[in-house]
Chain A
Amino acid sequence: MSDTSPLQAADDETGAPIETDALIIGAGPCGLFAVFELGLLDIRAHVVDILDKVGGQCAELYPEKPIYDIPALPVVTGQELTDRLMEQIKPFGATFHLGQQIDALSREADGRFRLSTDRGQVFITKVVVIAAGGGSFTPKRPPLEGIEAYEGTSVFYSVRRMKDFADQDVLIVGGGDSALDWTLNLQPIARSLTLLHRRDDFRGAPHSVEKMRALVASGAMRLLIGQATVLHGADGRLERVTVKTKDGEEPVVSTRMLPFFGLTMKLGPIADWGLNLEENLIPVDTEKFQTSVPGIFAIGDINSYPGKLKLILSGFHEAALMSQAAHRIVHPDKKLLFQYTTSSSSLQKKLGVR
């Protein structure tokens, strides 16, 4: 997270349902700008994202890469754009729930929506804004035959409880910080630990690499340069993994495997919410950017309509029109007056500049 971030972290330990006007799914540029457009219309928002940081693809895929087609910003990096949006939406005090995924969506008797995250946080909201981009970032599953059968029992993509790895033969695959950090953390408690990477060069922090190499030198763990090719075991219990190295194939005794191959985007649970979908995209109209369910909107890369362009600037426009429609649901009795931020005293008050 950058220093300029006004991030208001959520206290999700209370477990009590959070009531809000709008729940935004996705903290990428469109989700963040939706906070702004909704905020101008007095619609309070909470934001949920599966990543542990805001910015979506801009922060995860290309934080350092330049973007050239944001109006009035001839060049801006993904991270700068994210930081600037966070600065811009600061006055509206949205609450962020990071590292969580919305699993379920249902309708309450009063017409509001009830959504719950994989960590058990429940939201009751008047409108839902799906700004989920290419879907949720999920760990890449190595295309090893039958790997699904071992997931959750022997193969894990993250470490939730270290004790699940105690006294196990642990095989960690990858060359970044996750692979190195878990190598160093699990080595003391594992029965045996093998780190497998395709080359003898690591992306992770140099001091972690040094520590790992020292453990290898002392015989406390093994480093193999190669790639996993076949999993062996039965009933979800992994026994060994065939590893191909430049010297040939070698069976590595493994009862736990942790592959760290980065993240990919998957539509995820959104597919089960009863919305019309077309090729993993959510069709919307171009007046309100509403889905097939009134009150649920979709903006940014995840929606589709005739002429759709997957550009950040299109998502910003969609956020503005969506907010107008959301206002009619959230504040049905209030007249919506079209105003400019340049001249409106009431908008400037909301922005805290007056």
Chain B
Amino acid sequence: MEPAQTMVKITFVQDDGTRQEVDAQPGLTVMEAAKTEDVPGIEAECGGACACATCHVYVEPEWREAVGPPSEMEEDMLDFAFDVREESRLSCQIRISEALDGLVVKVPSKQF
């Protein structure tokens, strides 16, 4: 048997304030963790190719430094998201590590 991998907690906060905490495996992306647990509002139309901007999330202020800024390619793709803010990221481009245990991200009211 494989050694049990330490799971990381990630909380998704919907526009109406609903919180959903999921156990995520390090190495996956935040988008994959959301899709695995059926988190509403993360569409990921392109399946994680950084090609559609429908997995847009807002990173809570205290987590922005740990998560880091978007790459140039991701910035370009964020042009296709709506209501983009400084804390905007595409969740398919956030790789989960143990350093992100407890991460809180907000799901926008609408992906488009």
| Contact A142:B45 (CB < 8 A) given known A176-B79, A262-B53 | no
Interface stretch of the complex, out of B3-11, B80-88, B99-107: B80-88
Check: B94 CB closer than 8 A to any chain A CB. Answer: no
Q: How far apart are the CA atoms of A197 and B84 in the complex, in Å? A: 11
* Structural contact, B79 and A175, CB atoms closer than 8 A: yes
Chain B min CB distance to A227 (Å):
7
How many chain B residues touch A (CB < 8 A): the figure is 18
Q: A61, A134, A227, A262: which contacts B83 (Cβ < 8 A)?
A: A227
* Structural contact, B82 and A65, CB atoms closer than 8 A: no
Q: 5 more A-B contacts (CB under 8 A) besides A142-B112, A197-B79, A262-B80?
A: A62-B49, A143-B110, A176-B79, A198-B79, A201-B75
Check: B46 CB closer than 8 A to any chain A CB. Answer: yes
What are some 9 contacts across the A-B interface (CB < 8 A)? A62-B51, A65-B51, A142-B112, A143-B109, A197-B79, A198-B84, A199-B75, A264-B54, A264-B112
- Considering only residues 161-182 of chain A, those with a C-beta below 8 Å from chain B are 174-176
Chain A min CB distance to B112 (Å):
5
B interface residues, Cβ below 8 angstroms from A? 45-46, 49, 51-54, 75-76, 78-80, 82-84, 109-110, 112
Q: A61, A143, A175, A203: which contacts B82 (Cβ < 8 A)?
A: A143
Q: List the B side residues contacting A61 at CB < 8 Å.
A: 46, 49, 51-52
Closest to B88 in A: A198
Q: How far apart are the CA atoms of A176 and B112 in the complex, in Å? A: 17
A interface residues, Cβ below 8 angstroms from B? 57, 61-62, 65, 134, 140-143, 174-176, 197-199, 201, 203, 227, 261-262, 264-265
| Contact A261:B80 (CB < 8 A) given known A61-B52, A142-B112, A143-B112 | yes
Closest to A175 in B: B79
Q: Is the interface of B mostly helix, strand, loop or mixed?
A: loop
Closest to B78 in A: A198
Q: How far apart are the CA atoms of A208 and B52 in the complex, in Å? A: 24
* Structural contact, A203 and B84, CB atoms closer than 8 A: no
Q: Is the interface of A mostly helix, strand, loop or mixed?
A: loop
Q: How far apart are the CA atoms of A57 and B49 in the complex, in Å? A: 11
Q: List the A side residues contacting B109 at CB < 8 Å.
A: 143
* Structural contact, B79 and A65, CB atoms closer than 8 A: no
* Structural contact, A261 and B49, CB atoms closer than 8 A: no
Q: How far apart are the CA atoms of A142 and B54 in the complex, in Å? A: 13
Q: List the B side residues contacting A175 at CB < 8 Å.
A: 79
Q: How far apart are the CA atoms of A140 and B52 in the complex, in Å? A: 11
Q: B45, B49, B54, B84: which contacts A227 (Cβ < 8 A)?
A: B84
Q: List the B side residues contacting A143 at CB < 8 Å.
A: 82, 109-110, 112
Q: List the B side residues contacting A227 at CB < 8 Å.
A: 82-84
Chain A min CB distance to B67 (Å):
19
Closest to A60 in B: B51
Chain B min CB distance to A90 (Å):
28
Q: List the B side residues contacting A201 at CB < 8 Å.
A: 75
Q: How far apart are the CA atoms of A141 and B82 in the complex, in Å? A: 10
Q: B45, B78, B79, B82: which contacts A265 (Cβ < 8 A)?
A: B45
Q: List the A side residues contacting B82 at CB < 8 Å.
A: 142-143, 227, 261
Chain A min CB distance to B15 (Å):
12
Q: List the B side residues contacting A199 at CB < 8 Å.
A: 75, 79
Q: How far apart are the CA atoms of A227 and B53 in the complex, in Å? A: 16
